[in-house]
Every structure is written in C-alpha cells, then in structure tokens.
Structure 1
C-alpha cells in the first residue's frame, strides 16, 4: 500500500466509513499524518452519538479503539492489514463491537437497532 500517501488513504477510509455507517458516524478529524519514512495517520470520529473512536493506520496495519480519556480500549477485528482487508468484514465487526457496548434503549431511540 506504499503507493498511496496518507491523504489518499485517509480519504478512502473516511469514504468507506461514511458510506457504511451513514448517519451513525460524524465529526471526522485526521491527525498525526506522515508519509516519511512511512505512511501513518489517525482518524478520529464519533460513532452512534455515543463513542469517540480513533482509527490508527501505521505502515499498512490498521484498527480502531474507543477513546477513554487518555487511555484507549482496543476493538477486536479480524482484518489487520489494510491492503489485504475485506472492508465489509472490518466495518461489520466494528459495528458489532460498538453495539455490544451501547444500551439497547439508546439504539432503539435513534432507530439503530
């Protein structure tokens, strides 16, 4: 994946997140970008009006965590390398991990359950 720079990759990932989650996701912020000596960036966003999430991309490896103050709660997923990932699986697993942590009553209120 080294042929794409951090701007292209972060835009690509934001598009995929936006398309999959629609009105369940917002407030994207890209930070800590670098292409030299390797491609790395963070994308922070809000999910389900409930969690602040960070997606870390570092030299092809990627994953999400819940931001909990100065600490992070890593979210499990089976897709570890962006260039080999099935994004449909990654996004479905992200959705499942988050919904497990949100009260059903909250999800029902917004029509997300």
Structure 2
C-alpha cells in the first residue's frame, strides 16, 4: 500500500480527502470493515449531495466506488486505471463526483449550486 502505511491510515486519508474535495456535499462517512494484516482491506461508505450512498472498497491495491441497491452494487469508479493508484485519491474523487452528478436530477443539483 504505497499511499498509506496501513488500512487504518488509508481510511483516515479517505476521510480527509472527502472533506477536501466535497467540503459540503459529503456526509455520513463510516468505516464498515477494516483489516490491517497481510491482506489489507477497507470498506467504507458515505453520502454525496444528500442523494446517493456511496460504498468504497480497497483490497490489495484494487479499489472501487459503487452505489448500493437492494441486491446489487452499481460501479461508479473502479481502479486502478492505467497509471493511477490510490495515491491519486483527490483526482479519483473528482471523477467520482462528476459521475455521481450525472445520476442526480439537475433540479436537485441546482439547490447545491452545481
């Protein structure tokens, strides 16, 4: 895990990055699972624009953001893309924000000034 020393550190980095990239639009950050052993694992969730719950999973370098529904998770951003790592978290969150906004009605986003 080149970006963070541990899964705990990664969970804290994600929290700080959410506050930086979405100062008013992200809420309810919750770490659901955390494993700090030879197989680092982080599972967290948060809400964007008080509209979509977003799940985050990190597993040995692979990561993704998805919108959970009853029986399925709809991927929004998967990583790493070519040349991208979890260290590019701000850039990844900006891409996530753009993709999530496409799934929110314009009338609702106008209230957020987006």
Structure 1 residue 77, shift from structure 2 partner: 5.0
Rounded to whole Å, the distance in 2 between the matches of 1:53 and 1:11 is 17
* 1:20-99 pair list within 5 angstroms: 20-77=21-78, 79-80=80-81, 81-83=85-87, 86-99=88-101
Partner deviation per Cα, 1:31-78 (whole Å, 9 max, x = no partner): 221122311011100111000101101112111001112321001356
Structure 1's consecutive aligned runs of 4 or more residues displaced over 6 angstroms after TM superposition are none
Q: Secondary structure at the match of 1:23?
A: coil
Instruction: Sort the Cα spacing of 1:36 and 1:78 in 2 relative to 1 into closer, same or farther, 3 A.
Output: closer
Q: Number of aligned pairs?
A: 110
Aligned CA RMSD, in angstroms, stands at 1.8
TM-score, normalised by the number of residues in structure 1: 0.86
**1: CA distance, partners of 2:49 / 2:31:** 19
Match status 1:10 vs 2:11: yes
Q: Distance in 2 between matches of 1:14 and 1:88?
A: 11
Instruction: Give the Cα–Cα distance (whole angstroms) in 2 for the partners of residues 31 and 37 of structure 1.
Output: 19
In the alignment, what sits opposite 2:104?
102
Structure having greater relative contact order (Cα 8 Å, sep ≥ 6): 2
Output the TM-score relative to the length of structure 2.
Answer: 0.86
8 Å Cα contact 1:79/1:89 also seen in 2: no
